[in-house]
């Protein structure tokens, strides 16, 4: 359900429009966007500026249609622009590139030869990658030490099977084919937080930090206990490692707290002697050291009772002496009232870069520590997902816009330059709809914003069928980024409405928390206000409306069709219908208790936020979808809605995708889902002659879906 991501008050140092002219220079396109174009897109992400500012390494994800899966490769390109160099080969996924301090080596994560995900290392000047680590379990994360001789690894405690496999790895495998598969053992559950999507049932195996010596290939565990430790970062002198951990007593599962902790890199007692750097009762994450090692910057949520609804701020705290009490924190972005994350100190230590979620965008901001003045080195109507710095301050950033998927940019001396063109060839083939950021009034007068896409064949004065697409979260938003689904729907003749109702980020904490324990009310009004706006503008046809969303967008869809019959068709993906049945079945027990109270004492609240109890009002033909192993928002919600509507004799269908979690990863399933979107809306909204409910075999072999 929850997806874990004032402009006028702050001066802009360098807006992105100065570097966007390259986006306007597109060759004549030949056709509308098709489903197959999804698999031609390249997911360019994780930009890593080399320490000397001369090179940028990054990852590129793409669909392997022959094997029906996605894979990643690592590329490198000059920071000043030039030809990109592929550093890893096709066929084996490699990700998470990280430079050594001298810029000579690039380490990355890869699982090769059907083994565990390990750290590999490349010499920037060429040669084959060398395998560095050989752990029994996957390496979850790592970071180089400043001396380039050590790494800190994040490892989850291995399972007994992983330990057994590691012991026998070097032994003869004779007769292995005759071995019978082991019968899985039962899960023994005794934790409050006992389930999580993509993992399943949780036990007491935890993630901890280990220091790996590159030359000696030795591994030393430096944290331990019944806690999860992650986000490690080395102090500038290489003597200490800051990390994030929830070590609340007596039970971390009962608290939203996480703090920044510090451990000696040569700790001999597995973290028995830690230094606590922060003490805020909410989430403190993403530690970043000052250049002199005296301060730590971090992202902090100050109101734990609001959990995800609470605004995240950038704060700093002095580094206490070993074993000392946490210092007094200083919050730098209180006046901004916008989600602020991913802090990195500027090289001079006087300012801190961070990403601000603001008004349907994410910008790169810079706050001066002394004055708390905020400027925007990369501002404007863009979506900046990630960035990194060189030692001298050059920046590499991952940026997407409404008409361009993610690419890598560099910012040097105030000049923003796009240095990758991974998606130029694919985009040159298609015509794109132009997204517009619009504002409108809700029922109670609240100003709401959203993105509106007109059909490719739009003619002023003509009305078109429209699709309302509530977003997930609810603590999330639609941003100024490339949306394949919006382009696909617009290419098929629809007006596409992407509203940011109350509950969305980017508009202040009061706006975000306005739906607290009141789902399907104000956000429903705001979603419907965008429909009314599009109709009032003479764009949308009021008699040809469709609605659909995923996650909280699916929940919103269920709320909407239970309160109005204005829509001719609905598609609810990964939605939840009746929350007491999900209590103890999904991963949100703590959130339910905090926001709704216990279901046995606050039945009225739980029933109020359950769209299931309005099911008798639903006349809209409704398609329900979800992943079979989704523990974020289990398929149970879709099954309940489908079963109820089927029993009532309404037009409905349920589609369950095997092997899929909350976020789909299998290309053929993603293709199938899009085909069903178009068929369902085409039949019920546009009145096309084709069938609404597609059969079992809608997807052609994945290898044949691309353009020839």
Q: How many CB atoms lie within 10 A of CB 209?
A: 28
Over residues 599-611, the mean pLDDT reads 96
Q: pLDDT category, 10, cuts 50, 70, 90? A: very low
The DSSP letter of residue 213 is E
The per-residue pLDDT for 2 is 53
pLDDT in tens, 542-584: 999 999 999 999 999 999 999 999 999 999 999 999 999 999 9
Q: pLDDT category, 170, cuts 50, 70, 90? A: low
5, pLDDT greater than 60: no
Q: pLDDT category, 270, cuts 50, 70, 90? A: confident
> What is the percent of the chain with per-residue pLDDT over 70, rounded to a whole number?
93
Contact 677, 625 (CB under 8 A): no
249, pLDDT greater than 80: yes
Longest pairwise C-alpha distance within the chain: 76
Which uninterrupted H or E stretch holds 76? strand 69-78
Spatial separation of the C-alpha atoms in residues 126 and 124, rounded to whole Å:
5
Which uninterrupted H or E stretch holds 260? strand 259-264
More confident residue, 187 or 114: 187
175, pLDDT greater than 60: no
453, pLDDT greater than 50: yes
Over residues 222-235, the mean pLDDT reads 97
Over residues 635-645, the mean pLDDT reads 98
Contact 201, 187 (CB under 8 A): yes
Contact 343, 352 (CB under 8 A): yes
The per-residue pLDDT for 646 is 98
Phi-psi region of 54 (alpha: psi -120 to 50; beta: other; left: phi over 0): alpha
Spatial separation of the C-alpha atoms in residues 512 and 505, rounded to whole Å:
6
φ, ψ for residue 210 (rounded to 5)?
-135, 140
Compute the C-alpha angle 624/1/338, nearest 5°.
135
Over residues 517-530, the mean pLDDT reads 98
The per-residue pLDDT for 157 is 95
The per-residue pLDDT for 8 is 29
User: Which residue pairs, CB below 8 angstroms and at least 24 apart, start in 293-297?
Assistant: 293/235, 293/236, 293/237, 293/240, 293/319, 294/318, 294/319, 295/319, 295/345, 295/349, 296/242, 296/260, 296/262, 297/343, 297/344, 297/345, 297/352
More confident residue, 42 or 184: 42
Domains in the chain (CATH in brackets) are: 433-704 (3.40.50.1820)
pLDDT in tens, 314-362: 999 999 877 778 889 999 999 999 999 999 999 999 999 999 999 999 9
The per-residue pLDDT for 181 is 76
Spatial separation of the C-alpha atoms in residues 329 and 320, rounded to whole Å:
11
Spatial separation of the C-alpha atoms in residues 490 and 628, rounded to whole Å:
30
CA atoms within a 13 Å half-sphere pointing along the CA-CB vector of 622: 31
Spatial separation of the C-alpha atoms in residues 545 and 532, rounded to whole Å:
11
What would the two tokens of residue 141 be?
């994360």
Q: pLDDT category, 700, cuts 50, 70, 90? A: very low
What would the two tokens of residue 137 be?
């379990």
- Residue (of 549, 2, 582) closest to 308 by Cα position: 2
Spatial separation of the C-alpha atoms in residues 575 and 577, rounded to whole Å:
7
> What is the percent of the chain with per-residue pLDDT over 90, rounded to a whole number?
85
Mean pLDDT of the chain: 92
Please state the separation of Cα 26 from the chain's center in Å: 29
The per-residue pLDDT for 326 is 87
Buried b or exposed e, range 384-395, using 16+ CB within 10 angstroms: bbbbbbbeeebb
15, pLDDT greater than 50: no
708, pLDDT greater than 60: no
The per-residue pLDDT for 17 is 33
Buried b or exposed e, range 335-347, using 16+ CB within 10 angstroms: ebbbbbbbbbbbe
Write the CA distances from 708 to 36, 37, 429, 604, 617, integer angstroms.
Answer: 11, 12, 12, 57, 47
More confident residue, 408 or 177: 408
Contact 530, 494 (CB under 8 A): no
19, pLDDT greater than 80: no
The per-residue pLDDT for 131 is 96
Over residues 57-74, the mean pLDDT reads 94
Length reported for the chain = 708
Spatial separation of the C-alpha atoms in residues 249 and 61, rounded to whole Å:
41
How is 428-443 classified by DSSP, letter by letter? TTEE---EEEEEEE-T
Sign of the Cα pseudo-torsion (622, 628, 629, 635, in order): positive
Contact 337, 509 (CB under 8 A): yes
Contact 449, 504 (CB under 8 A): no
65, pLDDT greater than 90: no
User: Parallel, antiparallel, or unpaired: how do β-strands 464-468 and 495-500 relate?
Assistant: parallel
Contact 57, 87 (CB under 8 A): yes
Q: pLDDT category, 9, cuts 50, 70, 90? A: very low
Contact 298, 311 (CB under 8 A): no
- Return the beta strands (E) in 534-648 as ranges: 540-550, 569-573, 622-627
Over residues 387-416, the mean pLDDT reads 96
701, pLDDT greater than 70: no
Say what the pTM is: 0.93
Over residues 6-28, the mean pLDDT reads 36
Helix (H, G, I), strand (E, B) or coil at 359: coil
Spatial separation of the C-alpha atoms in residues 194 and 478, rounded to whole Å:
31
Radius of gyration of the chain (CA): 26
CA atoms within a 13 Å half-sphere pointing along the CA-CB vector of 540: 26
From the number of C-beta atoms within 10 Å of its C-beta (0-12, 13-18, 19+), residue 310 rates as buried
Q: What is the end-to-end Cα distance of the chain in Å, rounded?
A: 38
The per-residue pLDDT for 632 is 97
CB within 8 A of 173, min separation 6: which ones?
A: none
Which residues are 62's β-sheet partners?
Answer: 71
What would the two tokens of residue 160 be?
């007994």
């Amino acid at each position: 359900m929850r997806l874990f991501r004032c402009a006028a008050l702050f001066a802009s140092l360098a807006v992105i429009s100065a570097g966007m002219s390259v986006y306007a220079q597109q060759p004549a396109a030949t056709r509308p966007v098709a489903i197959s174009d999804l698999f031609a897109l390249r997911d360019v992400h994780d930009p890593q500026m080399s320490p000397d500012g001369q090179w940028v390494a990054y990852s590129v994800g793409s669909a392997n249609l022959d094997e029906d899966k996605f894979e990643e490769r690592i590329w490198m390109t000059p920071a000043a622009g030039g030809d990109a160099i592929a550093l890893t080969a096709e066929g084996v996924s490699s990700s998470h590139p990280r430079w050594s301090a001298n810029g000579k080596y690039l380490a990355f994560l890869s699982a090769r030869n059907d083994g565990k995900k390990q750290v590999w290392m490349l010499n920037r000047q060429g040669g084959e990658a060398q395998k560095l680590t050989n752990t029994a379990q996957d390496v979850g994360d790592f970071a180089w030490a400043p001396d380039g001789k050590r790494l800190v690894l994040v490892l989850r405690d291995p399972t007994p099977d992983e330990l057994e496999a590691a012991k026998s790895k070097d032994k003869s495998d004779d007769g292995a084919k005759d071995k019978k598969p082991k019968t899985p053992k039962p899960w023994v559950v005794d934790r409050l937080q006992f389930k999580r999507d993509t993992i399943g049932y949780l036990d007491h195996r935890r993630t901890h930090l280990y220091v790996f010596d590159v030359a000696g290939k030795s591994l030393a565990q430096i944290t331990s206990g019944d806690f999860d430790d992650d986000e490690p970062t080395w102090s500038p002198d290489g003597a200490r490692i800051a990390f994030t951990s929830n070590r609340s007593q007596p039970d971390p599962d009962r608290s939203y707290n996480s703090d920044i902790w510090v451990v000696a890199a040569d700790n001999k007692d597995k973290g028995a002697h830690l230094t606590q750097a922060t003490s805020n009762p909410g989430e403190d994450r993403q530690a970043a050291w000052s250049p002199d090692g005296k301060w730590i910057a971090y992202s902090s949520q100050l109101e734990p009772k609001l959990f995800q609804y609470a605004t995240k701020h950038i704060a700093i705290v002095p580094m206490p002496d070993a074993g000392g009490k946490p210092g007094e924190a200083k919050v730098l972005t209180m006046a901004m009232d916008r989600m602020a994350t991913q802090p990195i100190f500027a090289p001079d230590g006087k300012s801190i870069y961070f990403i601000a979620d603001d008004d349907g965008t994410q910008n790169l901001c810079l706050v001066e520590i002394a004055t708390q003045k905020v400027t925007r080195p990369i501002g404007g109507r863009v979506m900046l997902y990630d960035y990194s710095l060189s030692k001298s301050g050059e920046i590499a950033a991952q940026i997407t816009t409404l008409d361009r998927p993610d690419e890598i940019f560099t910012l040097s001396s105030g000049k923003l330059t796009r240095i990758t063109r991974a998606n130029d060839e694919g985009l040159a083939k298609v015509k794109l709809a132009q997204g517009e950021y619009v504002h409108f009034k809700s029922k109670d007068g609240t100003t709401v914003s959203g993105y509106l896409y007109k059909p490719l064949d739009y003619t002023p004065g003509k009305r078109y069928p429209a699709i309302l697409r509530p977003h997930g979260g609810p603590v999330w938003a639609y941003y100024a980024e490339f949306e394949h689904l919006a382009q696909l729907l617009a290419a098929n003749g629809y007006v596409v409405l992407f509203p940011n109702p109350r509950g969305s980020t980017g508009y202040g904490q009061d706006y975000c928390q306005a739906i607290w324990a009141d789902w399907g009310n104000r956000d429903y009004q705001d979603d419907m206000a965008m429909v009314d706006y599009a109709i009032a503008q003479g764009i949308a046809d009021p008699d040809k409306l469709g609605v659909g969303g995923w996650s909280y967008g699916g929940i919103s869809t269920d709320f909407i069709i239970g309160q109005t019959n204005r829509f001719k068709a609905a598609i609810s993906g990964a939605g939840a219908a009746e929350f007491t049945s999900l209590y103890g079945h999904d991963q949100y027990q703590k959130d339910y208790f905090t926001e709704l109270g216990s279901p046995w004492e606050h039945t009225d609240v739980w029933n109020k936020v359950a769209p299931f109890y309005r099911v008798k009002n639903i006349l809209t033909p409704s398609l329900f979808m979800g992943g079979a192993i989704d523990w974020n928002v289990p398929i149970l919600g879709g099954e309940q809605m489908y079963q109820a509507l089927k029993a009532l004799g309404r037009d409905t269908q349920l589609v369950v995708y095997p092997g899929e979690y909350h976020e789909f990863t299998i290309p053929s399933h993603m293709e199938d889902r899009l085909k069903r979107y178009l068929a369902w809306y085409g039949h019920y909204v546009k009145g096309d002659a084709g069938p609404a409910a597609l059969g079992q075999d809608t997807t052609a072999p994945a290898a044949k879906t691309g353009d020839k």
